[in-house]
Structure 1
């Protein structure tokens, strides 16, 4: 099984909603991001991709590493995915462009059960965010 390597950014709004995007010709919603260019670091890739896909200019120092996750690729059957995920709470106004066909804000509590959300989101990112919110509520 081949492995697709990507970098992505989890944009979180104050209400906890997360921005997901859908690429043209696909049915799955995923975090904005993409594959690195040769010699490009994970963080640099993530900020370049969101600039190209959403018109969001974000300095590398405004994102923080969440983790590196491994799961199934959303749109490439038979491939695994290794995703370096960053996060930010920067306020943005995304403009759909390049290969992106749509974007939406979704609450992790809703997205975790949405079959249209990519496995990365349903299995890793949304459960992590929900666990963080639950821990913060108990504190």
Structure 2
């Protein structure tokens, strides 16, 4: 790919998961340094919601009903783990007060307060879009 060609786009579905305290659940994949939303690539024939449900079950053991996930919009940012690529992410908001555990390729998860004094390394999508989203209420 030459330097003047457009970056490749990776289509993903990701979850903006918050708890009752307004913290965000972030994950770090094995072998990487940046924390990001749970989720992943949308496979051929999948809707973004179906991809999100599959990824959350694989990564966190979290079964999500369609009505629990509120679509927030489509956002684009540089890919955290694929140089020269951008992610185009369909983001969904979920509220969670249950415990989840990392599974599959997830090495670590954290609950991050946007006002935390020390912020870990964040994926561009998380840093530039997710943390700037207005806080929603916990009402469905």
Instruction: Provide the TM-score with structure 1 as the length reference.
Output: 0.87
The answer to whether residue 95 in structure 2 is matched with residue 126 in structure 1 is no
Map 1:3-82 → 2, pairs under 5 A = 3-82=9-88
Secondary structure of the 1:49 match is helix
Equivalenced residue count is 131
2:119 aligned residue: 114
Q: State the shift of 1:17 in Å.
A: 0.3
**Aligned mates of 1:36, 1:79 — CA distance in 2:** 15
2:92 aligned residue: 86
Unaligned 5+ residue runs, structure 1? Answer: none
Larger displacement relative to structure 2 (115-124 or 31-40): 115-124
Q: 1 or 2, which has the higher helix percentage?
A: 1
The answer to whether residue 122 in structure 2 is matched with residue 97 in structure 1 is no
Aligned 8 A contact 2:114 2:131 in 1: yes
2:3 aligned residue: none
User: RMSD over aligned Cα, in angstroms?
Assistant: 1.8
**Aligned mates of 1:91, 1:48 — CA distance in 2:** 20
2:4 aligned residue: none
Aligned 8 A contact 1:56 1:92 in 2: no
Unaligned 5+ residue runs, structure 2? Answer: 1-6
Secondary structure of the 2:129 match is helix
**Aligned mates of 2:76, 2:102 — CA distance in 1:** 27
**Aligned mates of 1:44, 1:32 — CA distance in 2:** 14
